[in-house]
Amino acid sequence: MNRKKLFQQILFGLIGAMIFALPATAQLTGVVKITGGSIQGVPGNDPAVTAFKGLPFAAPPVGDLRWRAPQAVEPWDGVRKADRISNSCIQNEVYERKPWTHEFMAHNDISEDCLYLNVWTPAKTITDKLPVYFYIYGGGGVEGSTAVPVYDGEGLAKKGVIVVTANYRLGIFASLVHPELSAEAPYHASGNYAILDLVAALQWVKQNIAKFGGDPDKVTIGGQSAGSGNVFSLTVTPLARGLFRGAINESGATATVFAAHGQPLAQVEKEGVAFATAKGAKSIAELRRLSWQQIMEPIPAAGPGEKQPTFRFGTVIDGYVFPLSALETYLQGKQNDVPTLMGYNLNDNTGPVPHPDTTLADFKKLAKSLYGNSSDEFLALYPASTDDEAKSAYMYATWDRVRSSVYYWATWRTKTAKTGFYSYFWDHTLPGPDSDRFGVFHTSEVPYVLNSIAKSDRPFTEQDRKIADTLSTYWSNFVKTGNPNGPGLAHWPSTAEAPAMTMEIGNKYQPIPITGDKQKQSFFEKYWNSPERLAK
């Protein structure tokens, strides 16, 4: 054999060996290099999905980093085993608050060192370029965690999308506003740390998700309750521009956001000074030296007969995270305009069914507080002359109010938005403890849309499993295309296709009217679009 032929055989052999070895190096069960260092994932309960848990997306916000914008990840040596969800952020731990039972609560340790995220990927290689669903938990901004069992992402990942969940700071650790904090920040503002955390997590996704077989240009954000509110905030802040292409809002952020003006920074800074004083701290340095337990400790009343002071800082119009109010942002067309899917649950706003505390007098008082000079018109549309009739009228009126709020938010946003909008009304009762009492309660759709009912020990039936399969398919379709529709599913029309309709999901899959009749629809159309309400 001549040298040329021998060289060709050796060369082809080396190339063949390299080609043979390439898939193994790209397999997601191997070591993955991300921002900060190398990690090793673990197979899910279904080995078709690989889980990477407890991945840091920012430095621990402790010590001098408490009440600062998230900082760069601290690098690590070696290979980090990514097999466990991180500690939850600081909060008052609650292990059950019916109707929310074990599967809706976090049960791990809490810590200020909590800025970690989790990735569930069905990708086989890093070249798959799968769409990504970035899910944000609820909890009123004071509770919640990626450790909540039903937030497990494996079930939805089996539908062909990568699922990411991320912790974000809560309560006072997420929101303190103080003039010293504003002075030390390079952007000259303070507060809004939860949104800054979520922006940092989305930036991490943008930079790293391709290593997990994901497409950084195909990210959809979604959340429930306060998580839904955070999704809305991410559509408002310019800091999140280009980080996602779709949004899902479950039970939060509807037409009520018209008047979500937020508070001016200078005004809220005064509250921060009052909080520090109540804690005996003369400076932010002193406040940072306090333990988290001391920060969380209730502030006693000033004296007998005095109320115990409470401090809760909300959205701040700070010129940085939120240069404008939500209302002005949308009016000026400066929002992150993306296809949106939004809806509510049957008993989200009614509480137990029928609500045991609703009396005729309460119903009339509520009507007056909500509708003012239009309350007589409202009461004529939802008549009641006894307590039992008031309970029924309250439920039907609340359903119409909620469904119409989503629809008229959708029509209002078309003033500046160019993207599609899909709405829903979830009506399936989660089986289990007190289901007759609590009905289709707040958060009860989550195990179905995330396809995570296996994380609950409730007495699920074959019907529940079919609903979970259907709902998670609608959700994954939206993540993939910005449209929930797909083969084998009942058609879900957009609000543009079916005016004054919403999609019933759960027990049935069909468009239904937003209100009981045209007169009620006309009443809510005037209400949701009234200049007086927008000006509040």
Give the residue numbers spanning the domain of 294.
Answer: 35-349+439-489
What single letter denotes the amino acid at residue 376? Answer: D
Q: What is the pLDDT at residue 254?
A: 58
pLDDT class of 534 with cuts at 50, 70, 90: low
Of the given ranges (9-18, 138-147, 471-480), which has the lowest mean pLDDT?
Answer: 9-18
The mean pLDDT value for 74-87 works out to 97
Q: What is the pLDDT at residue 117?
A: 98
Residue 20, pLDDT > 50, answer: no
Determine, yes or no, domain membership for 514.
Answer: no
Determine, yes or no, domain membership for 431.
Answer: no
pLDDT class of 32 with cuts at 50, 70, 90: very high
Determine, yes or no, domain membership for 419.
Answer: no
pTM: predicted TM-score of the whole model, two decimal places: 0.92
Q: Which of 17-21, 208-212, 388-392 is predicted most confidently? A: 208-212
CA distance 281 to 286: 5
Quick one: CA dihedral 62, 144, 458, 83, positive or negative? Answer: negative
Residue 371, pLDDT > 70, answer: yes
Residues acting as catalytic residues: 225
Residue with tokens 């909060």: 91
Determine, yes or no, domain membership for 3.
Answer: no
Q: Which two tokens stand for residue 129?
A: 């370029």
Q: How many domains does the chain have?
A: 1
Determine, yes or no, domain membership for 181.
Answer: yes
Residue 18, pLDDT > 50, answer: no
CB burial class (10 A; 0-12, 13-18, 19+) of residue 460? middle
Determine, yes or no, domain membership for 100.
Answer: yes
CA distance 330 to 25: 46
CATH of the domain at 70: 3.40.50.1820
Q: Is 85 helix (H, G, I), strand (E, B) or coil?
A: coil
Residues written for the chain: 536
Q: What is the pLDDT at residue 13?
A: 46
CA distance 452 to 446: 8
Determine, yes or no, domain membership for 367.
Answer: no
> How crowded is residue 516: how many other Cβ atoms within 10 Å of its Cβ?
14
Q: Which two tokens stand for residue 230?
A: 């955070």
Determine, yes or no, domain membership for 338.
Answer: yes
